Amino acid sequence: MLKKTAVLILVVAAGWACLTSFKPPSFRIESLPPGLVTELTLEQRIMLEEAWARVKRGDAKGAEKLFLRLGQSSPFYNAGLGYVAFLQDQNSAAETYFQESLRRYPDLGLSHLGLGQIYQATGREELAFNEYMEVLKSEPENAWVLEQSEAIRQRQTEALLREGVALYEQGQVEPSKAAFNKALHYSPNSLEAHLNLVRLYKKENQAENVLFHLKAASAIDAKNKTVLEEYGEMAYRSGQWGRSLEAYEKLAELEPRNKEYQSRIESLKNRLGIFELPSQYDMIPSSAAVSREETAALIGVKLKDYLGDAGDKPPVIIDVATSWASKFILKAASLGLMEAYANHTFEPQRAMTRAEMAKVLMNLVEFLSRRGIRFIRQYPPQMIRISDVSSDNIFYQTIVDVVSFELMELGPDKSFRPEQGVSGREAIKILDLITALLK
């Protein structure tokens, strides 16, 4: 083996000594991913690095020979030949190689990047954008890809917004909606696209779609009173008191002395039964780390229409009699959503960690699923990698599941921060997401 490797090194060295002038590539080439490279043998690494160096200096034939020697078992075989074909302006062949590479190694960023550039070079910007988005999933700070994808995003969004307006003026409603929805694919925070869809869906009396886009618009421009008023009133007329209350509370923050807003808030709270809640409930949004009793209260209030009655045999809990949220705690524990400790204590004021919140959320998903409510995973669990929770951690599978349902998220570095607290606003946001999925 040592003799063979030594010969290979001499061959590579000889190749460097006989450098020929080549035309440098006109496309972007990233460095090899260290994670995959370290899995190769020394001989394979030497050959791969030389092949990649030849690609970077434009030596298509020299690189091709080395990739062919690496063989089809190498994770870089098809990706490398894709870049070789790209160097030779054989775009169709390059596309085929990159697609085959991704069929075998779906997360290989080099192939997503190459395929994206092929699509971009051949005028298929939507496909190019999708490939660049795949690169950013694993490399969110990739400056070149961010620049390219942002340029496509702006061009496509502006063109689709113009197209949507033109189609609407021509009376082509469905194509107009399709154009605005496609604009949102590129720019989910396009206020113009959301408001145009509100206008279109209102004409068709599609209240749920109107509310969806009004809510999105109000989140994008949280100080837009016109949007908030329309959202609040539409939700009120649709009988969706929680959504309406959300809108009017935001309006009241903008105009605290507006008596009309205050009157509507009082009416909505009465309808929702919130008037019975103690003042501590209103303090939850300002909580830096939500407590167990606050979590139980949020579940009890926000999901009251879906939980039903408590179980026939309430658990024995010895330390919640004086808690302002005692009835919510007993109900959550009775339904198996939150658990008391082995010594029958609940520790209502103890702060929740993110790992414990993940467990509560998965208890909720399982409970609601048994009642016929379907939750759809957004990511395959086997594809989720967590940098700071090992597979032998008691919360590992729970965290994988909650991330796969996109109820909680990983950080840019794939960390979950299991011991970190959950703020009141974050807890509210998570439970609001669940209630939105139920409607």
330 and 407 fall within a common domain = yes
**Residue 51 located in a structural domain:** yes
What's the pLDDT score for residue 274? 64
Same domain, 333 and 218: no
Task: Confirm whether 89 is domain-assigned.
Answer: yes
- List the beta strands (DSSP E) in 216-301: none
Residue 10 lies in a domain: no
pLDDT in tens, 16-27: 444 457 888 999
Q: Which of 244, 276, 308 is where one domain is finished? A: 276
* Residue 300 and residue 360 share a domain: yes
Question: Does 406 lie in the same domain as 360?
Answer: yes
- Stretches where the chain sits below pLDDT 50 are 2-19
Q: What is the CATH number of the domain that holds 44?
A: 1.25.40.10
Residues contacting 115, CB < 8 A, separation 6+: 82, 95, 98, 99, 102, 131
pLDDT at residue number 17: 41
> 115 and 252 share a domain?
no
Judgement on whether residues 263 and 291 belong to the same structural domain of the protein: no
Q: CB of 383 within 8 A of CB of 410? A: no
User: Does one domain contain both 228 and 284?
Assistant: no
Long-range pairs, 63-68, Cβ under 8 A, ≥24: 63/87
What are residue 421's DSSP bridge partners?
353
CB neighbours (10 Å) of residue 142? Answer: 18
Q: Which pLDDT does position 13 carry in this prediction?
A: 45
- Owning domain of residue 412: 280-438
Q: Are residues 424 and 339 in the same domain?
A: yes
378 & 304 share domain: yes
Number of domains composing the chain: 3
Is 201 inside a domain boundary? no
The answer to pTM > 0.85 is no
Cα angle value 72/73/79 (rounded, 5°) = 60
Residue 305 sits in the same domain as residue 371: yes
Residue 377 counted as domain residue? yes
| Residue 119 falls inside a structural domain | yes
Residue finishing a domain among 276, 299, 327: 276
Chain-centroid distance of CA 216 in Å reads: 16
Residues 197 and 213 sit within 8 Å (Cβ to Cβ): yes
Residue at a domain's end among 248, 276, 304: 276
* φ, ψ dihedrals at 351, nearest 5°: -70, 145
| CB atoms closer than 10 angstroms to residue 314 | 11
Residue 227 and residue 125 share a domain: no
Q: Are residue 325 and residue 379 in the same domain, yes or no?
A: yes
Tell me the C-alpha distance between 94 and 83, whole Å.
7
Burial of 65 (0-12, 13-18, 19+ CB in 10 A): middle
Residue 247 lies in a domain: yes
pLDDT value, residue 20: 58
Q: Evaluate whether residue 190 is within a structural domain.
A: no
Neighbour tally for 268: CB within 10 Å: 22
pLDDT digits (tens, 9 = 90+) for 354-411: 999 999 999 999 999 998 888 999 989 999 999 999 999 999 999 999 999 999 999 9
Q: Which of 124, 127, 104, 123 is nearest to 81 (CA)?
A: 104
